[in-house]
Structure 1
Amino acid sequence: MKKFIQNIKNIWKVEELRKRLVITLSLILVYRIGCYIVLPGVDSSKLTSDLSESAGTFEGLLGLLSGGGFTNASFLALGIMPYISASIIMQLLGMAVPAVQKMQSEGESGRKKINNYTRILTIIICAVQAPTYIGAYVGSKGAIPAELMSSPIWWVQSVMVLVGGAMFAVWLGERITDKGVGNGISLLITVGILARFPQAVFAEAIDKESPAIPILLEIVCFMAIVLATVLIVQGVRKVPMNYAKRVASGRAEAGDQSARSYLPIKVNASGVMPIIFAQAIMAVPVMVFDASTFGIFGFWYNLVLAVLIVVFTYFYTAIMINPKKMADDMKRSGGFIPGIRPGEETANYIDALVSRITLPGSIFLALIAVLPAVAYMAGVGQAFALFFGGTSLLIMVGVVLDTLQQIETYLLNRHYDGLMEGTKIRGRRTAGEVSGF
Structure 2
Amino acid sequence: MLRAFRDAFRIPDLQRKIVFTLLLLAVYRLGNTIPTPGVNTANLAQSANNSLLGLIGMISGGNLSQFSIFALGVLPYITASIVIQLLTTTIPALEKLSKEGEEGRKKINQYTRYSAIALGAVQATVFSVFVSSNTANIAVGWTPGLFTLLVMIMTQVAGIAFTMWIGERITEVGIGNGISLIITAGIIARYPAEIAATATLFRDGNTSVLSLIAFAAIIIVAIVGIVYVYQAERRVPVQYARARGGAPEGGAARNYSGQATYLPIKLNQAGVIPVIFASAMLILPTLIQQATATRAPAVSAFVQQYLAQGGVWYTALEVVLIVGFTFLYNSVQFDPKRISEQLREAGGFIPGVRPGSATASFLGTISVRISLWGAIFLALLVIVPQLVQRWTGVTTFVFSGTGLLIIVGVALETLKQLEAQLTVRRYDGFISKGRIRGRL
| TM-score class, shorter | 0.7 to 0.9
- Deviations for 1:37-75, whole angstroms, at most 9, x for unmatched residues? 1112323233327xxx95574434421211122112111
Aligned to 1:217: 214
Distance 1:107 1:212, change over 3 A: same
Aligned with 2:225: secondary structure?
A: helix
Question: Pairwise CA RMSD of aligned residues?
Answer: 2.5
Deviates more, 1:29-38 or 1:360-369: 360-369
What is the letter of the counterpart of residue 118 of structure 1? T
- Deviations for 1:122-147, whole angstroms, at most 9, x for unmatched residues? 22222222233223236527131476
**Given that residues 323 and 375 in structure 2 are in contact (C-alpha distance below 8 angstroms), is that contact kept between their aligned partners in structure 1?**
yes
Measured in 2, the distance between the counterparts of 1:157 and 1:77 equals 14
Q: What is the correspondence of 1:274-423 to structure 2 with a 5 Å cutoff?
A: 274-289=274-289, 293-384=306-397, 386-389=398-401, 391-415=402-426
Aligned with 1:23: secondary structure?
A: helix
What is the letter of the counterpart of residue 254 of structure 1? S
Aligned with 2:190: secondary structure?
A: helix
**Given that residues 241 and 335 in structure 1 are in contact (C-alpha distance below 8 angstroms), is that contact kept between their aligned partners in structure 2?**
yes
- Deviations for 1:107-158, whole angstroms, at most 9, x for unmatched residues? 4333333322322222222222223322323652713147634343332222
**Given that residues 79 and 169 in structure 1 are in contact (C-alpha distance below 8 angstroms), is that contact kept between their aligned partners in structure 2?**
yes
Distance 1:56 1:372, change over 3 A: farther
Are 1:10 and 2:10 counterparts?
no
Measured in 1, the distance between the counterparts of 2:184 and 2:309 equals 21
1:86 is displaced (CA, Å) by 1.8
Q: Identity over the aligned pairs, expressed in percent?
A: 38
Aligned to 2:26: 29
Aligned with 1:297: secondary structure?
A: coil
Aligned to 1:253: 256
TM superposition score normalised by structure 1: 0.85
Select which of 167, 176, 184 maps to 2:178: 184
Measured in 1, the distance between the counterparts of 2:129 and 2:67 equals 12
Aligned with 1:150: secondary structure?
A: coil
Aligned with 1:142: secondary structure?
A: helix
Aligned to 1:125: 119
Measured in 2, the distance between the counterparts of 1:213 and 1:39 equals 43
**Given that residues 222 and 388 in structure 1 are in contact (C-alpha distance below 8 angstroms), is that contact kept between their aligned partners in structure 2?**
no
Aligned to 1:134: 128
Measured in 2, the distance between the counterparts of 1:364 and 1:382 equals 23
**Given that residues 204 and 383 in structure 1 are in contact (C-alpha distance below 8 angstroms), is that contact kept between their aligned partners in structure 2?**
yes
Measured in 1, the distance between the counterparts of 2:67 and 2:270 equals 32
Deviates more, 1:10-19 or 1:101-110: 101-110
**Given that residues 94 and 101 in structure 1 are in contact (C-alpha distance below 8 angstroms), is that contact kept between their aligned partners in structure 2?**
yes
Aligned to 2:293: none
Larger Rg belongs to = 2
Distance 1:7 1:245, change over 3 A: closer
Are 1:46 and 2:43 counterparts?
yes
Give ranges in structure 2 of 5+ residues lacking alignment: 248-252, 290-302, 428-440
**Given that residues 4 and 418 in structure 2 are in contact (C-alpha distance below 8 angstroms), is that contact kept between their aligned partners in structure 1?**
no
Aligned to 1:143: 137
